[in-house]
Structure 1
Amino acid sequence: MASLALTTPISEPPNSSTTSTNALTVSHQIGIAILVLAFILGFPGNIFVVWSVLCRVQQRSVTCLLVLNLAAADAFVLLSAPFFLRLLAGGRGWEFGDVMCKTVHYLCCVNMYVSIYLICLMSLDRWLAVTRPFLSQRLRNKRTIYLAMLGIWVMAFLLALPMPFYRRIRQIREYNNMTLCLPYHFNFKGHEVFQYLFETLMGFVVPFTFILACYTSVIRRLRSAMFHGRVKGSLLILLIIITFAVFWLPYHLINILQVIGVLQDSQTLSNLVKAARPNVTAFAFLSSSVNPILYVFAGSSYIRRAGLSFMAKLFEGTHSDHSVLSRRGTSTDNSNLAKLTIKSLQSRDRVRNKSCGEEESKKMEMSCKEELKSLTTVQ
């Protein structure tokens, strides 16, 4: 994940025009507003989700546990918001040293990977519940779920390793030697292309293709005669997927444009990317604060009845929906198996009857021939 701060320094260089200063000020105000909104809404909201799951939910489904991990990752990354607010509002550049420069951006990148691959696991779980109910029931145990979530966290920390490698503090002479935390690619285009292409492929294209494949199969299955009605768990996960795509797609499009600009050596495209990246990155930062709002809307029917426990009721509802879905799949598969068994028995009986009839006719034919032969002999 690229820097949430502007790629241009906070203070304008000498001889800058009034127009550019005003534009920079407006850009800073937008960035500060987005970060404040994300922190005020997102951090308490995600903490509330974590508390609801840990203290209120009695039967934790796979969806519930994945939402818990997603909320914990979002709450953790939102703790970096004060660093970027200080950078934007302070006007003194990056004041926290090289280690924090690398660490903060590394954790933001880890959150991006954790979020998208947890959504992948949600989609896989939903696909198994709908299309492979027997296999889903066998895999739905605590050991398998915890191992899968641990694997996602480990993979996210590994995939995010290029971020601290390509991030360091630099002093910009043109801006009175102000220190900034900026991308650094060792003046080699290959490193720049690798970072942004790798980030977009592994953080969006590959996982999102997997998600679309899973849900395409799920939708086809749900539209068949096998399942009817609305499934809350599926709708909740669909909302999470759509939200992630809306907030992160602009960021990854900018990554692709930057790669194209580097390969084509286009200064115009590079300037466009530099101007757009701070805004799309701040917009992506909002994705960590939106999911609790989705849960509130999804669980609005429980608010009057359950009060602060409404979110627990929502997640318990996803557990019951999955159980109903699995039972439907199991009963349907059992009925289909019974039908197939009956058909096979009927077919076997018809074959047996047919063979028995042929044998009887042969016996009757032989007896007639013998009787005719005996009559001929007597005559």
Structure 2
Amino acid sequence: MADLVPGLIICLMAVQTIQHDGNRTGTTANKQPGVIPKTFRGKIYKLNHTNQRPTPLHPSTAPRLIVNPDDAATAYTTGVLSTWVIPSSYILAMLVGIPSNAYILTFLRVRLRAKSLSTVILYLNLALSDLVLLFSLVLRVHYHFNGNNWIFGEISCRLITALFYGNVYCSAQTIACISLKRYLAVVRPFLYRRLAKTTLAVWTCMIVWFLFGAAIVPELLVRQSYQLTQLGVTTCHDVLPLEEKSHSQLLPYRLMLVCLGFIVPFLICIYAHIAVVYHLGQSGCDWRPFIRVSTLVFIIFAVCFLPSGILHIVHYIRLLSGGDDRLYGYYRVAVCLCCFHSCLDPFLCMLISKTAASELQFISLRGMPQRLAVMM
């Protein structure tokens, strides 16, 4: 019997070692990186016999996520960038943009009596989109100043997220439509005169809002708010779990949305601007003041929208290639520039209207003067 005791002890030690190694292997397997579109990566908290429930957070029904304290998500959530710089930029954009867009609506209502009804419709659509975007920032300002802690519930988080990103693309598409209209008026004046401009403008706005609706549907269908166990906050859209397949399946859709909502409108604006400047330069009139103003408007559009578009695409590529989400914080800062463009649109509209004197006289290649009642 004495000889059996050492053997039993050795067997028990071996079994304990094998069990410990198996638990460690399972934990490592659960931490394999995945792909999550647009946002930071998180891991859903699951209670089992090896875990203890974390300290209770504020009352909320949002699921819990676990993030590494050394990850970029933690640095962004607790850093001065998201808790001070971004909300301060939003406040400045709202203080300037909401009154100016409200004023431009009154200005455009007076312009309804003018001949260029189609242009007025497009600018009304742009002002409306900008106002929706700026009003959607109110709750996000509270969210960021509150330490990235969302207290308004899941439904409001989905709605604000959908309105925010949907109207960014809506503004870019409307600006592209205005640029295309300016191109037809200057470069193709005979075709422009034959078009049913008012009807075409109405249909264009309807298509833009249809695309807006298609863009926000996925954001309304998936959960956007999650509690971060280590930080004690509930984030809205900024951190999403890797385990949910519904989020990872949105990646191809959002890549297509970036192309249709930003790349295509930006290419249209580039082509339209170059063509308009070239044809005005070939005419016998001095269009230098209008060309300078038009160039300024295009540069402002590029500065405000190009950084967010590029960072958005590169962020997706990095997620697909290696699951790196560190660019998301920089992307959020770049989106602030889109909000500033929404508050600058009314001033650019007034500037172009006064520079063009509302009626532009363009001399075609045949030397025939064509009078175009357009507000460029």
Residue of 152, 156, 168 corresponding to 1:96: 152
**1:257 equivalent in alignment to 2:314:** yes
In the alignment, which residue of structure 2 is the partner of 1:107?
163
Deviations 1:325-363 (A, max 9, x none): 3xx33973599xxxxxxxxxxxxxxxxxxxxxxxxxxxx
Deviations 1:106-136 (A, max 9, x none): 1222312221221222122122112221211
In the alignment, which residue of structure 2 is the partner of 1:332?
367
Identical columns (%):
21
**1:52 equivalent in alignment to 2:87:** no
With over 3 angstroms needed to count, the CA separation of the structure-2 counterparts of 1:175 and 1:290, relative to structure 1, is same
**1:131-150 correspondence to structure 2 within 5 Å:** 131-150=187-206
In the alignment, which residue of structure 2 is the partner of 1:289?
343
Q: CA deviation at 1:166?
A: 4.8
Q: CA deviation at 1:139?
A: 1.3
Deviations 1:285-323 (A, max 9, x none): 222112223345x27xxxxxxxxxxxxx739823x12xx
Matched-pair contact (CA < 8 Å) for 1:70–1:115: yes
Q: CA deviation at 1:47?
A: 0.4
**1:28-107 correspondence to structure 2 within 5 Å:** 28-55=83-110, 58-59=113-114, 61=116, 62-91=118-147, 93-107=149-163
Task: Give the residue type in structure 2 aligned to 1:329.
Answer: S
Secondary structure, in 3 states, of the residue corresponding to 1:161?
Answer: helix
Alpha-carbon separation, structure 1, partners of 2:278 and 2:291 = 13
Secondary structure, in 3 states, of the residue corresponding to 2:285?
Answer: coil
Matched-pair contact (CA < 8 Å) for 2:148–2:233: no
In the alignment, which residue of structure 1 is the partner of 2:208?
152
With over 3 angstroms needed to count, the CA separation of the structure-2 counterparts of 1:275 and 1:81, relative to structure 1, is closer
Deviations 1:4-44 (A, max 9, x none): x9999xx9x9999xxx6997135422112201100000000
Alpha-carbon separation, structure 2, partners of 1:153 and 1:89 = 31
Aligned length: 305
In the alignment, which residue of structure 2 is the partner of 1:355?
none
**1:241 equivalent in alignment to 2:281:** no
Task: Give the structure with the higher percent strand.
Answer: 2
Under a length normalisation based on structure 2, what TM-score does the superposition of the two structures give? 0.69
**1:277 equivalent in alignment to 2:334:** no
With over 3 angstroms needed to count, the CA separation of the structure-2 counterparts of 1:229 and 1:53, relative to structure 1, is same
Residue of 120, 128, 149 corresponding to 2:176: 120
Q: Which runs of 5+ in 1 are unaligned?
A: 300-312, 336-379
Deviations 1:126-171 (A, max 9, x none): 2211222121112154222222222222222223433334552112
Matched-pair contact (CA < 8 Å) for 1:109–1:163: no
Matched-pair contact (CA < 8 Å) for 1:167–1:182: no
In the alignment, which residue of structure 2 is the partner of 1:210?
268
Task: Give the structure with the higher percent helix.
Answer: 1
Deviations 1:176-228 (A, max 9, x none): 3635344647357853532442232112212211222223322332222x453
Task: Give the residue type in structure 2 aligned to 1:29.
Answer: W
Q: CA deviation at 1:54?
A: 0.7
Alpha-carbon separation, structure 1, partners of 2:288 and 2:201 = 21
Matched-pair contact (CA < 8 Å) for 1:240–1:291: no
Under a length normalisation based on structure 1, what TM-score does the superposition of the two structures give? 0.68
Alpha-carbon separation, structure 2, partners of 1:14 and 1:148 = 47
Matched-pair contact (CA < 8 Å) for 1:189–1:262: no
Q: Higher Cα Rg: structure 1 or 2?
A: 1
Task: Give the residue type in structure 2 aligned to 1:201.
Answer: C
Alpha-carbon separation, structure 2, partners of 1:21 and 1:199 = 25
**1:331-350 correspondence to structure 2 within 5 Å:** 332-333=367-368
